[in-house]
Amino acid sequence: MKYVRLIYKNILRNKRRTFLVFVSLSFALFLFVFLFTVLASMNMYFDIAKERHIIYAYSTKFDIKHHDFPQSYIPKIKEIPHVRDITPCIQMLNYFEKSTKVINTWGIDPENIEKFFEITRIVGTTWSKFAQERTAGLVGKKLMEEYGWKIGDTIILKSGLWVEIPFTIRGIVHGQGNMCNFVYLNLPYLQDLIGCQGRVSFVLIITDDSSFVPEISSKAEALFRNYPVEITSITQKSFLESIVNRIKVILIAFRLIGWIAIISTFLLVANCIALSIRERTIEIGVMRVLGFSRIKILALVLSESIMVALAGGMVGALLAYLLFAVHHIEIPATVPLVINSDIYLVFYALFISILIGFLGGIFPVINSVRMKPSDAIRNIG
């Protein structure tokens, strides 16, 4: 600890250079965390899918306007081996008043829905109370904030099929990612409103293990071949991947840019550190003469470069983290992708900063320290 003053004074030796190194690192790590946060949010969709091994089964005619998957198929599908559970869903896109944004509306069966959706909790009511009230609706937290709705409000949504969807908000849904952007209604109620009783948009099937997925898919499709409504299925993973595919190019670009920023900053910082160490060759020689061991000097000099790098990286990384933590930012599209802040990235960024500080200083300092003290004092080399 007695060396802290020494290190501090050395850092302030050339204030301007230290400041510029600090700022370069802040920018680079801000950009890095910024880009990788967006990437991480997108990848989160995969992580959800990976865990749950969910299959969408839908009629071959399926598209956003058709709801013709017969609920009567469900018992038969349940008998397929390795099917753990199955739930019917209606999904539709509606509008609210004059807003141009679509609202993703789901008709669900509250009984086992939590196995299928990443919902952490609901506030204001319980699943059973929701099931008992026909016209009750649950709204995701972010959607509530966006439109300024409150529990108890009666909302009327418009659909493109000239049907109105009225409901009363009874609870708020907290969950991961897009779960907070949906409206959840009781399945029978929605079916009555749009006139498709006994039919749904699709069913979600959950299996024990992803290795059974192809087997279940083909068995399910075979079960109903040549029926009036044939079905097909895809894994949730493939589905979400297709959504992410829309922006695949951006993902690759972001990753590339993020690393380019880091590497070029590293080169710059390494250059600066090397220069400042070279300037102090004489001093390092003097310290050797005074009796400081090589390792001690190494540690002192490296501490400087690591501290400055760390400070800069911290500031940049935290700013990027706060940006997403405080603001609700989403990528606009018909189904918007919400970007969530990720604290692990901040730690990752800190680690990178330390690495940059270390690598930038290690080679020049080893060089200076390896010299004979007599040479160093005369600044030879």
Residue 354, SS3 per DSSP: helix
Residue 232 Cβ vs other proteins, minimum distance, rounded to whole Å: 7
**205 and 55 Cβ atoms separated by less than 8 Å:** yes
Longest dimension (CA), the chain: 94
Residue 319 Cβ vs other proteins, minimum distance, rounded to whole Å: 11
Candidates 7, 27, 135, 325; binder of other proteins (CB under 8 A) is: 27
Task: Output the DSSP codes for 163-177.
Answer: -EEEEEEEEEEEESG
Candidates 11, 31, 54, 196; binder of other proteins (CB under 8 A) is: 31
Contact between 162 and other proteins per CB under 8 A: yes
Task: Output the DSSP codes for 204-261.
Answer: EEEES-GGGHHHHHHHHHHHTTTSSS-EEEEEHHHHHHHHHHTTHHHHHHHHHHHHHH
Give the whole-angstrom CA distance, residue 63 versus residue 50. 24
Residue 59 Cβ vs other proteins, minimum distance, rounded to whole Å: 10
Task: Output the DSSP codes for 279-301.
Answer: HTHHHHHHHHHHT--HHHHHHHH
**324 and 341 Cβ atoms separated by less than 8 Å:** yes
Give the whole-angstrom CA distance, residue 63 versus residue 281. 72
Residue 25 Cβ vs other proteins, minimum distance, rounded to whole Å: 9
Closest CA to 309 of 264, 277, 353, 268: 353
Contact between 17 and other proteins per CB under 8 A: yes
Residue 265 Cβ vs other proteins, minimum distance, rounded to whole Å: 7
Candidates 1, 63, 225, 327; binder of other proteins (CB under 8 A) is: 63
> What is residue 57's DSSP assignment?
E
Give the whole-angstrom CA distance, residue 139 versus residue 26. 39
Site for other proteins in 256-295 (CB under 8 A): 257, 260-261, 264-265, 267-268, 271-272, 275
Contact between 239 and other proteins per CB under 8 A: yes
Contact between 157 and other proteins per CB under 8 A: no
Site for other proteins in 66-125 (CB under 8 A): 66, 93, 95, 100, 102
Cβ closest to other proteins, residue 70 vs residue 124: 70
Contact between 228 and other proteins per CB under 8 A: no
Contact between 16 and other proteins per CB under 8 A: yes
Contact between 62 and other proteins per CB under 8 A: yes
Cβ closest to other proteins, residue 65 vs residue 370: 65
User: Side chain identity at 203, as an amino acid letter?
Assistant: V
Helices (H), 63-104: 74-78
What is the number of other CB atoms lying within 10 angstroms of the CB of residue 57?
23
Q: Which residues contact 302 (CB under 8 A, 6 or more apart)?
A: 357, 358, 361, 362, 365
Cβ closest to other proteins, residue 234 vs residue 325: 234
Cβ closest to other proteins, residue 175 vs residue 364: 364
Contact between 324 and other proteins per CB under 8 A: no
Cβ closest to other proteins, residue 34 vs residue 324: 34
Cβ closest to other proteins, residue 119 vs residue 356: 356
Contact between 255 and other proteins per CB under 8 A: no
Q: Which residues contact 131 (CB under 8 A, 6 or more apart)?
A: 110, 111, 186
Contact between 211 and other proteins per CB under 8 A: no
Contact between 249 and other proteins per CB under 8 A: yes
Give the whole-angstrom CA distance, residue 377 versus residue 70. 88
Total residues contacting other proteins by CB under 8 A comes to: 55
Provide the binding-site residues for other proteins, judged by CB under 8 A. Answer: 16-17, 20-21, 23-24, 27-28, 30-31, 34-35, 60-66, 93, 95, 100, 102, 158-162, 232, 234-235, 238-239, 241-242, 245-247, 249-250, 253, 257, 260-261, 264-265, 267-268, 271-272, 275, 331-334
